Amino acid sequence: MKEYRVHSKPKKKVDSRDKKKTDTHSSNSASKGKPSSIEKTKPFASKDSFYLRKDSEPRDFSDPEGKSDRSLEITYFSNPKVKYISLLKEKKFREKENRVFIEGFREIQRAYAGFKSQSSILPKFQPEILCISPECFLGKNEWELIKNWKIPVWQFPKAIFEKISHRDRPDGLILLASIPDTKFKKSYLSNLENEIILIIEGVEKPGNLGTIIRTAEGAGVHSIIVTDPQTDIYSPNVVRSSTGILFTLPVFQGNTDEVLQALKGNGFSIKALSPESENMYTKSDLKGKLALVFGSEQYGLSQMAKNSADELLGIPMKGEADSLNLALSVGIVTYEAIRQRNS
């Protein structure tokens, strides 16, 4: 794990005779835009009072004696950690640091389930830092989730947490973790029988990708392979729109040609959705080892994907619109495949 360095300013001793003067000076400094601290939050409950520590007094959540360096309370906007976390909302900085920004109780809970999973193909990330703001908590189970992780915790007042959050109404939890290796490998396809795999080619919108991941997991799809993506699959928007399912369902990245050839070599039937096809998707046999291929929102399927497909499928359109939203199309065809298998 990378080091995070914080340079705390030494506290000045203030003579009681100068207290009034000092208070006036502090007020003026804040109004001129100089770094200001946030008041220390009140204890939420006596049993949790040891969680409240200043930057200079680290304390382990499992160690009330304060003998280890697991937790910090950060009370200044000027703290370098605040800027660092805020920058992780940007794609270039996430890639440079190789870190993913996971926000929200439900998302972090599912990330924990994925982290503990025994699946041999699920991409594994390494949890590093848990950022919390108890003032923003919405329920009663946050502390249990925090203790489960057993990783360093940085605590922030509400005002600072709102600055680092990616949401309008944060719920007080952000997990920083290493981005796992998601490169597609042919070995992932061995020993599969009657599985459905989704191939999403050139997806552009993180909201669509997140919804597809959520839909696929609900339908019981084996995995998703995102080929030649135009969006970051670990962006905060994908994490949120997938409701954290991104960490419990195998999602890989690869090259369209390489992936489709590997699927064919492992006996998968390749069916691709195209608005140009008049072959209605409900008329196609979607049972057995199946790879469903979907193109990007703007350009649709590449010519390579069309040429590699065993069959092109279409969804009938009765109005002026010539196609449906990508995530909606994925849901319609995927659940038709499930229906055929269950009938």
Collapse the DSSP code of 194 into the 3-class scheme (helix H, G, I; strand E, B; otherwise coil) and give the result: coil
**Cα 191 from chain centre:** 29
Instruction: Give DSSP secondary structure letters for 292-322.
Output: EEE-BTTTBS-HHHHHH-SEEEB----SS--
**pLDDT per residue as tens digits for the range 298-326:** 999 999 999 999 999 999 999 998 889 99
CB 208 within 8 A of CB 237: no
pLDDT at 246 (0 to 100): 97
Which one-letter amino acid corresponds to residue 5? R
Identify how many contiguous H helices and E strands the chain contains and give both numbers.
11, 11
Sign of CA dihedral 163, 165, 168, 172: negative
Phi-psi region of 288 (alpha: psi -120 to 50; beta: other; left: phi over 0): left
Start-to-end Cα distance in the chain: 50
pTM: 0.80
User: What are the residue ranges spanned by the domains of the chain?
Assistant: 39-178, 186-342
pLDDT at 8 (0 to 100): 43
Classify residue 46 by burial, with Cβ atoms within 10 Å: 0-12, 13-18, 19+.
Answer: exposed
| Domain range 186-342, CATH architecture | 3-Layer(aba) Sandwich (3.40)
Collapse the DSSP code of 326 into the 3-class scheme (helix H, G, I; strand E, B; otherwise coil) and give the result: helix
Q: Where are the beta strands (DSSP E) in 96-172?
A: 99-103, 127-132, 153-155
pLDDT in tens, the chain (343 residues): 444 444 444 445 545 444 444 444 444 444 444 444 433 333 333 233 333 334 433 334 333 344 345 679 999 999 999 999 999 999 999 999 999 999 999 999 999 999 999 999 999 999 999 999 999 999 889 999 999 998 999 999 999 999 999 999 999 999 999 999 999 999 999 989 999 999 999 999 999 999 999 999 999 999 999 999 999 999 999 999 999 999 999 999 999 999 999 999 999 999 999 999 999 999 999 999 999 999 999 999 999 999 999 999 999 999 998 889 999 999 999 999 999 999 8
Beta-carbon neighbour count of residue 144 at 10 Å?
A: 9
Place of tokens 């640091």: 97
Distances (CA, A) of 240 to 57, 99, 203: 33, 16, 17
pLDDT at 342 (0 to 100): 95
pLDDT at 132 (0 to 100): 97
pLDDT at 57 (0 to 100): 39
Collapse the DSSP code of 80 into the 3-class scheme (helix H, G, I; strand E, B; otherwise coil) and give the result: helix
pLDDT at 247 (0 to 100): 97
Indicate the length of the chain as a whole number.
343
What is the domain class of 39-178 according to CATH?
alpha beta
Classify residue 322 by burial, with Cβ atoms within 10 Å: 0-12, 13-18, 19+.
Answer: exposed
Beta-carbon neighbour count of residue 148 at 10 Å?
A: 14
Token pair for residue 78?
């000027």
pLDDT at 323 (0 to 100): 87
The closest alpha carbon to 279, from 241, 309, 243, belongs to: 309
pLDDT at 322 (0 to 100): 85
CB 334 within 8 A of CB 196: yes
Q: Residue 219: in which H helix or E strand, if any?
A: helix 206-219
